[in-house]
Structure 1
Amino acid sequence: MPGTVGRVPTPATPGPGAPTGSGPTVGVLAHDWANTPLGPADDWDVALQAVVELVLASPMPMALAYGDDLVLLYNAGYAELLGTKHPSALGRPASEVFAEIWALPGVGAVIERCYRQGEAFLEKESTLPLVRGHSATVEQAVFTRGYSPVRDSAGQIVGVLTVAAETTHVTEQLQSLSEVAAALAGTLTLDDVARVALRYAITTFDPDQASFAVDEGGGGWRMVRRVRGELLDEADERLPPLWRRAPADWSAPAVQAARSGAPSFTRDGQPLRDTAVDRHDQKIRAMAALPLGTSVVRGGLAVGYQVPHTWSPAERALLAASAELIGQAAERARRFETQHGTAQLLQRSMLPEHLPDLPRLRIAARYDPGVDGNAAGGDFYDAFLLPNGSLGVVLGDVAGHDVQAAARMGQVRAALRALALADPTPAAVLGGLDRLVTSLGAEAGTHELFVTVAFGVIDAERRELTLSSAGHPAPLIRRGDPDGRFHAEYVDVPPGPPLGLGGRPGTTTVPFRPGDTLLLFSDGVVERRRQSLSAGLATLSDAIAKAGSGDPRALCAVATAAVPGGTEDDVAVLAVEHALKPSRSASMEVPAEPTAPSRVRHWLTGQLTEWQVPESVIGAAVLCTSELTTNALLHAGTAARVEIDLSAERLLVSVADSGTRGTVTRARTDTLSSRGRGLGLIEELSDAWGTDPSVRGSTVWFEILTPPAAHP
């Protein structure tokens, strides 16, 4: 019976008559058996001697429990299971050696029954407590055990032969397979699948590296790799993996397995000799590569070791099952990304790609799709210059989450622009839209079109805002108090009915002074299940009032995260700041090449120094911008654009990529950050940060509040 696990001590001097050599076997033969029921070794029965020779020669953990007292004689493998109980367990009754578990079901009683009645016993899996090493730490270990009666040359039962193998590791691997199946069930994109697959491979098989490869759909491949010992913090685990692209004829083992559909196992060699990119690849000697086994996504999973490795049948079966599960998840992810990308591209193509760039009115917007991001929605926003020099701003919501809702949204947005350019009076614009929606409903044969819109005109010279609403939530304005603090108030605009019902929207005009920021938003920002609308509105107002600055991009991020809890509705926000002073702006196009981050650092340092920004702000901004630029180039694989804007109260830096590997990534602030340093760097050095989707990619931004001496 196993009791503990540890290394087997070797006796310093073999006993008389013991064979030459060293090791546990020598210790067993050198034991003074004369003072045990076995008696002197020279007097052992011939059949008993044969059993002892079998036990000592076997690589499997084996033990002989002899006589009525079931005294123990065992081999090196069994001694390793005994750990610190060896060598004192030699020649002692099994009931004493395993006193702590002897009375447990399936232990002492089974051995005694085998001895008394000659009943062989096999238990493929049982859990027993073990004491690990010298620390006396008790752990639950899993064993496969077999007991057989041992007979002497006269046919009498004289003992019990035990074969025991600890299968804890195999059991843990099977449990981890169940856990990874659950984790893969929650993945949506190939990035998610890769992250789960690599984490599972590293923790389960303990390789020196693991890699995951998938086809690009156009003949090429991309692969992501993790190396054992690689330091990944919690933020890094949330990052999109760093994919490496390769041509269609790439010969990496994972790609070869994906292309052929057959696994490969290298026990010792140089499996990455032709595709190695660094010393980690060059050191790999053993590798298993398995296809994902899916018709939708060609891909492969590979694990490698820096020492020779024998791939057991059980390990091969577990790898094959793992690859099968990962393949199923990759197939679902590929379908999701295709649908998700199409829906979001449709949605964003109907939104303005660029908002006006004005000296005194700074504008930002944000749109997050609701439901699962897999369907186009009807929320929209727009901001455009009017013939009289004023700024028109609008945010609306067409009910629905399908292509038809997105198409109607496009019609309403285009008609609103046309109406506003002809007559910018908010009431007149919404009146014309009301007639349009009525006509659309008649064409569709339904009176259930539900469209809400808030439209306003900002006159910066007159410092006022004129606004009308057709069933839409009242906009919010962040204003400064005389004591330097801020508060937020909802515009008291006549609500009016939704469009298409023949209503006559009212109009209100309120002050909009330098330092104020207007926030228009859709109901998805404030509506939550099991929470009143008034509570959501109050929470939003409080969050906007407490924001670190009135910068529109920062307020959009604050607004979308203000009300806790998930929403199935789309979220759209448009913010306009009436700046106290004109800001200074500059931009740089960043090519997709290794020297780009250093060029960005040099350019940004020079520009901010010229603007006399404090060195502490320059240092933090340069470090954050370098990290985000590197992140954009690695993850998007395309050129990027860096924009900086210095206002009276803050420095705003944004880094925009122009591609997302052929799909549109989900717009979540926890999915983009800097590789290696994690989100902690941006969070530590900036006062606010976030990510915004665009028509052709994503934008990551941060802002740092500046002291008065830095104001332009």
Structure 2
Amino acid sequence: MPGTVGHVPTSPAPIPRAASVGTAALVLGHPWSGTPLGPIEQWDPAVRAVVDLVLASPVPMALTLGTEFRLLYNDGYAELVGAAHPAVGRPAAEVFAGIWSLPGIGDLVERTFHEGTPTLEKESILPIVRHGTGRVEQAVFTRGCSPVRDSDGRVVGVLTVAAETTQVTEQLQSLSELAAALSGTLTLDDVARVALRYALDSFDADWVAFGVDDGGGWRIVRRVRGELLDEADERLPPLWRRYPDDSPLPLVVTARTGVPLFTADGQPLAAAATDRHDQKIRALAALPLRTPVLRGGLSVGYQRAHAWSAAERALLAASAELIAQAGERARRFETQHGTAQLLQRSMLPEHLPDLPRLRIAARYDPGVDGNAAGGDFYDAFVLPDGRLGIVLGDVAGHDVQAAARMGQVRAALRALALTDPRPDAVLAGLDRLVASLGAEAGTHELFVTVVFGVIDAGRGRLTLASAGHPAPLLRRCPTPDAEPTAEYLDVPTGAPLGLGCRPDTTTVRFAPGDTLLLFSDGVVERRRQSLSVGLAGLAEAVAGAASGDPRALCAVATAAVPDATEDDVAVLAVEHALMPSRSASMEVPAEPTAPSRVRHWMTAQLSDWRVPESIIGSAVLCTSELTTNALLHAGTAARVEIDLSPERLLVSVADSGTRGTVTKAQTDTLSSRGRGLGLIEQLSDAWGTDPTVRGSTVWFEILIPPD
């Protein structure tokens, strides 16, 4: 035999214990005598020792022998061979024909063979076929190639050891993605969503939890693999649970002490388990989240034993550091944001008039910053003669001073309107007020725009005047089966207040089926986009809305123009109803039986109103879900309101948003959140969430088909 692997006559070598099955049997049973290497029994003992090492090792290894680089390998390496397996005894360049010529593949082996020096490739991307799935994936490996010498010291082959680092590489990449995702979070709810999603996916975990201190206790939110959470449900706040300060939960212990905890196998959640998901966890890691203004923890768990490697612990620590920093930013933001928004919303009307033929709704959303009070405002009030006054305005600025001026302008406008409701007279009086405020402040930069109107429902008329504000949008739909249209009213714009505003008035028909929409420029203005594009998009969205209901149109308007706005958004909608609506409401206590009570009350009420049974079923199911969610995420009493018109059924559930205590029994009982709001998206024609002065309101609308 040629001297490529050496030729030493010996008795047949013993077969390693691993040789009875798999690639070892293929290697030892291969007809090597038909190759230039000769019978395996006559190979040099030094070479046979390497062969035995390869076949017995669980680590992916391959041995290429001779100048043709004839290949033999073990079970661990078979995945890399892929569809060519079994390929024992064939030249490596033939087996890996598709990639052998690529840099860092064949040349690495050849260089090691010819130069006789070991080489290391820290990152090789190789296609492999995954066992069980049969899918071809691009995997990342660290490969080391070492020369194999015979008993005389000649290089006769190359030993390749491959360690897959795909998971580590993916985890490092996911860490970068985590940092990017956390950079866009504003609130602790946002941080919780990102942290839980990352921990569950990146570590392929069965159970993850995130918690923060909450003044004398802890609030914690978890995710369980396989738990049904849909995209709609993500639009609500996460389901936080409260734990006492001395809870034995590992997350609480690590948050309190600042010391990481790792359990490889056991029952780490036994002392604080709330359900079967907690009881199944055998391996758990708990990392502290520590910053100057926040204490918390992050936990990752498995339902099987799991040894926490040094690399995993380092990755968890790095992840916890990023999440802690984002949590601190979120806590600072929530503190500042809460104060600013409380000031903002306290200056807006808490309740709008409830009139038989005029339905009214409004919505205010802070701008991108959301951290400061703004100057957008709206109002609607009944005048002494029974007509309705409506207003929407914008005081330039995003600070406490802008909010204070907004409050002054709004109060003065209502006072002027109650004395003389003519829109031109009201705006002329406001112009003098704003000019006086500017002179008092010693500035000419006090910029205020406003549109004010008076609606006479009995006569079907609408009179408007504007001071530098965008023209209102009017949606007309005279009958339920008519094709809706939307047009901007031709209202003389006039100069902004404080600049000698001399407004003119416009009177238009406001008939049953019409809906008026007043809006601030934040609804239609976007960077790098023409204003006309935003105005056209708003008109198209309003005309195409499923109904003219004011609450639904407010939601449509705020989402009509793509991309985020950097300004505050205020919308006020008034519908002249074709027929008077019927309304009812119910106060819902924060207790486990509340959803059942709401279902019985609502079924009876809608049946009494002769609503079609199919609509009753959908409405009751959706309302039960909303009530459950309100009680879970706010933990306080809620208010359910239903409003029925010939065209649609509107249901809203409002909470106070104080996040009061929800007992363990209540949390377990109200467990339908997993189905979430996906049901509402399927069963309703429109739905949305509206912030209120003291909490939030979630609503949905179901259209009623004509008889």
Which residue is equivalent to 1:686?
684
Distance 1:560 1:68 in 2: 72
CA contact under 8 A between 1:481 and 1:487: conserved in structure 2? no
Mapped pair 1:449 → 2:446: yes
CA contact under 8 A between 1:16 and 1:30: conserved in structure 2? no
CA gap 1:235/1:66 in 2 versus in 1, 3 angstroms: same
- The residue type paired with residue 199 of structure 1 is R
Mapped pair 1:464 → 2:461: yes
Question: Which has the larger displacement, 489-498 or 567-576?
Answer: 489-498
- The residue type paired with residue 346 of structure 1 is L
Which residue is equivalent to 1:370?
367
Question: Which has the larger displacement, 407-416 or 143-152?
Answer: 143-152
- The residue type paired with residue 359 of structure 1 is P
Which residue is equivalent to 1:243?
240
- Residue 562 of structure 1: SS of its match in structure 2? coil
CA gap 1:547/1:23 in 2 versus in 1, 3 angstroms: closer
CA gap 1:555/1:125 in 2 versus in 1, 3 angstroms: closer
CA contact under 8 A between 2:79 and 2:128: conserved in structure 1? no
Distance 1:605 1:205 in 2: 46
Deviation, 1:271, is: 0.8
Which residue is equivalent to 2:180?
182
- The residue type paired with residue 350 of structure 1 is M
Deviation, 1:285, is: 0.7
Mapped pair 1:648 → 2:649: no
- Residue 180 of structure 2: SS of its match in structure 1? helix
Deviation, 1:412, is: 0.9
CA contact under 8 A between 1:17 and 1:30: conserved in structure 2? no
Deviation, 1:559, is: 2.8
Which residue is equivalent to 2:100?
102
- Residue 294 of structure 2: SS of its match in structure 1? coil
- Residue 353 of structure 2: SS of its match in structure 1? coil
Distance 2:373 2:562 in 1: 24
Aligned partner of 2:268 among 267, 271, 295? 271
- The residue type paired with residue 317 of structure 1 is A
Distance 1:439 1:225 in 2: 55
Deviation, 1:644, is: 0.7
Deviation, 1:632, is: 1.7
Deviation, 1:701, is: 1.4
Which residue is equivalent to 1:61?
60
Distance 1:108 1:486 in 2: 69
Which residue is equivalent to 1:294?
291
Distance 1:509 1:135 in 2: 70
- Residue 232 of structure 2: SS of its match in structure 1? helix
Which residue is equivalent to 1:7?
none
Question: Which has the larger displacement, 684-693 or 638-647?
Answer: 684-693
Which residue is equivalent to 2:204?
206
Distance 1:44 1:530 in 2: 74
Distance 1:574 1:235 in 2: 25
Distance 1:74 1:128 in 2: 16
Q: Number of residues paired by the alignment?
A: 682
CA gap 1:606/1:64 in 2 versus in 1, 3 angstroms: same
Q: CA RMSD in A?
A: 3.1
Deviation, 1:707, is: 4.3
Question: Which has the larger displacement, 55-64 or 414-423?
Answer: 55-64
CA contact under 8 A between 1:37 and 1:66: conserved in structure 2? no
Question: Which has the larger displacement, 640-649 or 154-163?
Answer: 154-163
Which residue is equivalent to 2:637?
639
CA contact under 8 A between 1:652 and 1:701: conserved in structure 2? yes
Which residue is equivalent to 2:9?
none
Distance 1:464 1:83 in 2: 78
- The residue type paired with residue 122 of structure 1 is L
Aligned partner of 1:553 among 551, 554, 568? 551
Aligned partner of 1:329 among 311, 318, 326? 326
Distance 2:590 2:339 in 1: 25
Which residue is equivalent to 1:10?
none
CA gap 1:145/1:352 in 2 versus in 1, 3 angstroms: same
- The residue type paired with residue 299 of structure 2 is A
Deviation, 1:339, is: 2.5
Which residue is equivalent to 1:405?
402
CA gap 1:100/1:646 in 2 versus in 1, 3 angstroms: closer
Q: State the Cα deviation string for residues 537-581 of structure 1 (Å, max 9, x = none).
A: 455445444443332222222333334454323222222233343
- The residue type paired with residue 355 of structure 1 is L
Q: What are the residue-to-residue correspondences of 1:14-413 with 2, within 5 Å?
A: 18=15, 22-24=20-22, 27=25, 30-31=28-29, 35=33, 45-79=44-78, 81-82=80-81, 88-89=87-88, 91-132=89-130, 138-216=136-214, 218-413=215-410
Question: Which has the larger displacement, 161-170 or 373-382?
Answer: 161-170
Q: State the Cα deviation string for residues 258-312 of structure 1 (Å, max 9, x = none).
A: 2222222111111111121111111111111222343332222221111111111
Segments of structure 1 that go 5 or more residues without pairing to the other structure are: 1-14, 663-673
Aligned partner of 1:627 among 625, 628, 635? 625
- Residue 610 of structure 2: SS of its match in structure 1? coil
Which residue is equivalent to 1:586?
584
- Residue 200 of structure 1: SS of its match in structure 2? helix
Aligned partner of 1:595 among 593, 596, 602? 593
Percent of paired sites with the same residue: 77
Which residue is equivalent to 1:668?
none
**Superposition TM-score, scaled by structure 1 size:** 0.87
Question: Which has the larger displacement, 132-141 or 114-123?
Answer: 132-141
Distance 2:563 2:551 in 1: 22
CA gap 1:71/1:461 in 2 versus in 1, 3 angstroms: closer
- The residue type paired with residue 452 of structure 1 is T
CA gap 1:124/1:652 in 2 versus in 1, 3 angstroms: same
Q: State the Cα deviation string for residues 640-685 of structure 1 (Å, max 9, x = none).
A: 11001112322211111111649xxxxxxxxxxx943455432332
Question: Which has the larger displacement, 600-609 or 75-84?
Answer: 75-84
CA contact under 8 A between 2:595 and 2:624: conserved in structure 1? yes
Deviation, 1:320, is: 1.7
- Residue 702 of structure 2: SS of its match in structure 1? strand
Which residue is equivalent to 1:4?
none
- Residue 494 of structure 2: SS of its match in structure 1? coil
CA gap 1:648/1:153 in 2 versus in 1, 3 angstroms: closer
- Residue 601 of structure 2: SS of its match in structure 1? helix
Distance 1:136 1:705 in 2: 49
Which residue is equivalent to 2:666?
none
CA contact under 8 A between 1:655 and 1:700: conserved in structure 2? yes
Distance 2:117 2:532 in 1: 76
Distance 2:586 2:546 in 1: 27
Q: State the Cα deviation string for residues 315-337 of structure 1 (Å, max 9, x = none).
A: 22222222222222222222222
CA gap 1:160/1:477 in 2 versus in 1, 3 angstroms: closer
Which residue is equivalent to 1:8?
none
Question: Which has the larger displacement, 404-413 or 503-512?
Answer: 503-512
CA gap 1:16/1:552 in 2 versus in 1, 3 angstroms: same
CA gap 1:285/1:654 in 2 versus in 1, 3 angstroms: same
Distance 1:86 1:555 in 2: 63
CA contact under 8 A between 1:454 and 1:472: conserved in structure 2? yes
- Residue 378 of structure 2: SS of its match in structure 1? strand
Mapped pair 1:506 → 2:509: no
- The residue type paired with residue 658 of structure 1 is S
- The residue type paired with residue 62 of structure 1 is M
CA gap 1:130/1:548 in 2 versus in 1, 3 angstroms: closer
Deviation, 1:25, is: 8.2
Deviation, 1:434, is: 1.9
Distance 1:538 1:41 in 2: 81
Aligned partner of 1:421 among 409, 418, 421? 418
CA gap 1:123/1:524 in 2 versus in 1, 3 angstroms: closer
Segments of structure 2 that go 5 or more residues without pairing to the other structure are: 1-11, 661-671
Which residue is equivalent to 2:570?
572
Question: Which has the larger displacement, 76-85 or 394-403?
Answer: 76-85
CA contact under 8 A between 1:18 and 1:29: conserved in structure 2? no
Which residue is equivalent to 2:606?
608
- Residue 632 of structure 2: SS of its match in structure 1? helix
Question: Which has the larger displacement, 700-709 or 400-409?
Answer: 700-709
- Residue 287 of structure 1: SS of its match in structure 2? strand
